[in-house]
Chains A and B, each alone.
Chain A
């Protein structure tokens, strides 16, 4: 009786198909089951290897002492980091990327949160189409958004420039605007998920205890939304920071970001310098996520939450589940 139960318990995550195999006749199915299980497990290992080995290779080879052949290990050195970080072009691109990503995160967080709060109160007939549009904007291929925003910007700018004699052109603002566009949807989804999971009686309790709607929002609702807001802002930052497709469509002279720079260099062939730039990007992204995770943890510990609500990743998967 307990044999199948234990083997189910051992089944790796994501291999839930295994319990189905256990549902029927016990003994024979058990052997088949463990074969399936082993196969799935090996499969999972392969997938993770496929995902992460290239990243590890990039990071390792950024420390390569070689001067010519990237793929040939010639010893450990930090010289590529030195050269990359002293390169004014890289510095400029990095600064651009940070400006774009930070602005995007701020704008997307503020407007995404406000949109989520606004929709929460709206009647269903009003809310439903907006929610559908939000989902769609996340699913629409990036290239379509890129093209659409480019067409929009250039035609609007043309009209405005000729009518009002302005000199509007593509640059930082257009990149930020385009990035903010899809990140607002993302923040909104995260905050909406959190809002709908919130206990309405807390708000009523606050009203009951003389809290005005304004004070209730800041003292009760906002603190409970904070993890979702943090998660949203961090994701916006990272998505914006490494975006290539949209950026390349709507950037202008002088607004080259790090991903654009990396892409332009590899046309001349991958060098250890490219690897070093990629490693720096990775480091920045991971640090941001780590900071966010710490913030969410601290918040969770104070309010006694566990599981999905206590991690940024959990928050992201929560709303899709």
Chain B
């Protein structure tokens, strides 16, 4: 991937690794975040688009704002860019409060969803637009435009008309037009939304590689969880204007703090249960489902207080579960849960096979087996067969609240 980008591009001097990359925890002393959103609320009439948001965006990282339609992702970007003013709270850019600073004085650039390329300008004029507004003209403008185009692999396209280009190419022009200005932060609002699946996947990897190369902070808006997992260093999951959870892809997938996140990122099985034993030092608790199934698992949210009698949800990922034919009884080890069920449906997905198993104790469970060659992935069961579903204790994610 990186090889496909032009080597030796110099417009972003200095090794990326030398830059501070730490995510600044709340209140800690460290390098100033590029963007700091402090208790920001944005209301449109009676609609609260963004609700008491608190977010520090560290330098050089790839952030994604992820959430369903209408959760306030675009509104957040527009407040950073300066197109909307927060109703409450404050936004800092490079440590400076930016309330009242118009968009054209903010060192932030945006890649718009439909690119918003200027139709009456060619590619080079489009890319050089921001430079010209800052009085960078002539040879310096040409040099930087050429470098930016080289960076997005559009070298030699300077004189093209933007409306003659393909969607993917227009997307790159939009990217070059923003990057050429070396903004503190680059904001991208679903920039791949208009592209077809294959191109989308390609561009995801390319964007990520590009971001590493230039070392500019990206804030990327998407409602596609797969896209967010592929590209981001930090994913901010939002719902109804509220941040649900924030963390790296692994953290969000392995330790979702609530049912919404567990459901929105990847697929989960959910079992409603009541806490029967208080958490130990490792925050493991024992819970019992309404149908009498006892499970042990770790409480994912470190902040949550869990007491005996509380209602919780136990989530588990389909690939952490296993189905075996009912007659091929496997040994029951410590920390393994086994329950009986009947296969409702088996779906071959190419790399995986997905089983839907109806169980007495836990309702319907989704189980996925990897279809590795020669491996015992496919257990040879079909609809109607009695099976045993089993899983390790550490697959149980106890979601409080």
Task: List residues of chain A with CB under 8 Å of any chain B CB.
Answer: 199, 201-202, 204-213, 215-216, 219-220, 223-224, 299, 302-305
Report how far A210 CA is from B120 CA in the complex, Å. Answer: 18
Q: Are B104 and A212 in contact (CB under 8 A)?
A: yes
Q: Are A202 and B134 in contact (CB under 8 A)?
A: no
Residues in B with CB closer than 8 Å to A299 are 120
Q: Name the residue of chain A whose CB is nearest to the CB of B110.
A: A208
Out of B108, B118, B163, B164, name the residue touching A205 (CB < 8 Å): B118
Residues in A with CB closer than 8 Å to B104 are 206-213, 216
CB-CB contacts below 8 Å: B162-203 with A: 163-164, 177-178, 181
Residues in A with CB closer than 8 Å to B116 are 199, 201-202, 204-205
CB distance from A308 to the nearest CB of B (A): 16
Q: With an 8 A cutoff between CB atoms, is B133 at the interface?
A: yes
Report how far A213 CA is from B104 CA in the complex, Å. Answer: 9
CB-CB contacts below 8 Å: B64-87 with A: 81-83
Q: Are B109 and A208 in contact (CB under 8 A)?
A: yes
Contact mask for chain B residues 265-299; partner A; CB cutoff 8 A; 1 contact, 0 none:
00000000000000000000000000000000000
Q: Are A303 and B181 in contact (CB under 8 A)?
A: no
Q: Are A202 and B109 in contact (CB under 8 A)?
A: no
Report how far A206 CA is from B116 CA in the complex, Å. Answer: 9
Classify the secondary structure of A's interface with B.
helix
Q: With an 8 A cutoff between CB atoms, is B62 at the interface?
A: no
Report how far A305 CA is from B163 CA in the complex, Å. Answer: 9
Task: List residues of chain B with CB under 8 Å of any chain A CB.
Answer: 81-83, 102-105, 108-110, 112, 114, 116-120, 129-130, 133-134, 161, 163-164, 177-178, 181
Report how far A31 CA is from B130 CA in the complex, Å. Answer: 63
Report how far A250 CA is from B358 CA in the complex, Å. Answer: 91
Q: Are B181 and A201 in contact (CB under 8 A)?
A: no
Q: Are A204 and B130 in contact (CB under 8 A)?
A: no
Q: Are B161 and A204 in contact (CB under 8 A)?
A: no
CB distance from A303 to the nearest CB of B (A): 4
Given known contacts A201-B112, A304-B163, A304-B164, A207 and B103 CB-to-CB distance under 8 angstroms: yes
Q: Are B103 and A208 in contact (CB under 8 A)?
A: yes
| 9 additional contacts (CB under 8 A) given A224-B120, A302-B120 | A202-B116, A204-B83, A204-B112, A208-B108, A208-B109, A209-B133, A210-B104, A210-B133, A212-B104
Q: Are B102 and A209 in contact (CB under 8 A)?
A: no
Report how far A73 CA is from B133 CA in the complex, Å. Answer: 66
Report how far A216 CA is from B116 CA in the complex, Å. Answer: 14
Given known contacts A204-B103, A204-B112, A304-B163, A209 and B129 CB-to-CB distance under 8 angstroms: yes
Q: Are A208 and B114 in contact (CB under 8 A)?
A: no
Residues in B with CB closer than 8 Å to A205 are 110, 112, 116-118
Report how far A302 CA is from B313 CA in the complex, Å. Answer: 60
Q: Are B109 and A201 in contact (CB under 8 A)?
A: no
Report how far A314 CA is from B129 CA in the complex, Å. Answer: 31
Write 10 A-B pairs (CB below 8 A) sorted by A numbering. Answer: A199-B116, A201-B114, A202-B119, A206-B104, A208-B104, A209-B104, A209-B129, A210-B134, A211-B104, A299-B120
Report how far A305 CA is from B181 CA in the complex, Å. Answer: 29
Report how far A312 CA is from B54 CA in the complex, Å. Answer: 53
Residues in B with CB closer than 8 Å to A213 are 104
Out of A209, A212, A224, A303, name the residue touching B177 (CB < 8 Å): A209
Q: Are A209 and B130 in contact (CB under 8 A)?
A: yes
In order of increasing CB-CB distance, the 7 nearest A-B pairs are A209-B130, A304-B163, A210-B133, A205-B116, A201-B116, A303-B119, A207-B103
Q: Are B120 and A211 in contact (CB under 8 A)?
A: no
Report how far A304 CA is from B121 CA in the complex, Å. Answer: 10
Residues in A with CB closer than 8 Å to B161 are 302, 304
Q: Name the residue of chain A whose CB is nearest to the CB of B117.
A: A205
CB distance from A299 to the nearest CB of B (A): 8
Residues in B with CB closer than 8 Å to A206 are 104, 118, 129
Q: Are A304 and B119 in contact (CB under 8 A)?
A: yes
